[in-house]
Chains A and B, each alone.
Chain A
Amino acid sequence: GENVEQHPSTLSVQEGDSAVIKCTYSDSASNYFPWYKQELGKGPQLIIDIRSNVGEKKDQRIAVTLNKTAKHFSLHITETQPEDSAVYFCAASKRNRDDKIIFGKGTRLHILP
């Protein structure tokens, strides 16, 4: 079955700097890679996703990249702000009815003042 590894488990960056979270997946058939953000005391929320037919996607300060050959995908946050402090989960999935989404173990991001 699919396995998603996520690194680092904790990341601290100075406000204004960039943050990068990396994930690898094992199942080459996976073709959809969402990222979720979980703020303290809340449920995760989908913030961005990338599909296997593109290599990069941007949404304001957030970008995701995908290397299908290496089975790597990454989340990049630029010009970090205090509200970016949260736990981020990567995930992998196939767009089949009976498939499940497999989550990484999460990265706790701290934005330092």
Chain B
Amino acid sequence: DGGITQSPKYLFRKEGQNVTLSCEQNLNHDAMYWYRQDPGQGLRLIYYSQIVNDFQKGDIAEGYSVSREKKESFPLTVTSAQKNPTAFYLCASSKDSFRHYEQYFGPGTRLTVT
């Protein structure tokens, strides 16, 4: 089965702790993305990567970090500097950066920080 997997589905952390969200794809896609979804806010872009070993900030990158060491993996770290980390996080991929308009999404990770 080809697709994008995110783990875990639910994640709980204490305030002040860093946490890393996993995203893996076996679609052989070059580009990968991280979005944050809050009620009534739609999808906001955190970071994106057009190719391995390269990534760019999205609209709300503050308090987040990413790496892209392998084509199939794009983990997101939510640091303690992120003021409101509780949210639903979605990872996506596209065949390449030209076809960014056709994105395939994972099932999401709901992060709760208390």
Tell me the interface secondary structure of chain A in the complex: loop
- How far, in whole Å, are A98 and B56 apart by their CA atoms in the complex? 10
Q: Which residues of chain A are within 8 angstroms of B92 by Cβ–Cβ distance?
A: 43
Among A24-55, those with CB < 8 Å from B are 32, 34, 36, 41-46, 49
Q: How many B residues touch A, CB cutoff 8 Å?
A: 22
Say yes or no for B48: interface residue by CB 8 A criterion. Answer: yes
Among B68-113, those with CB < 8 Å from A are 90, 92, 97-98, 100-108
CB pair A100 B45 closer than 8 Å: yes
Say yes or no for A89: interface residue by CB 8 A criterion. Answer: yes
Count: A-B pairs, CB below 8 Å: 54
CB pair A100 B105 closer than 8 Å: no
CB pair A95 B101 closer than 8 Å: yes
Q: Which residues of chain B are within 8 angstroms of A95 by Cβ–Cβ distance?
A: 98, 101
Question: Could you say which interface size class chain A belongs to?
Answer: 20 to 34
- How far, in whole Å, are A100 and B50 apart by their CA atoms in the complex? 11
Say yes or no for B43: interface residue by CB 8 A criterion. Answer: yes
- How far, in whole Å, are A43 and B90 apart by their CA atoms in the complex? 7
Binding site for B on A (CB under 8 A): 6, 9, 32, 34, 36, 41-46, 49, 89, 91, 93, 95-101, 103-106
Binding site for A on B (CB under 8 A): 4, 40-43, 45, 48, 50, 58, 90, 92, 97-98, 100-108
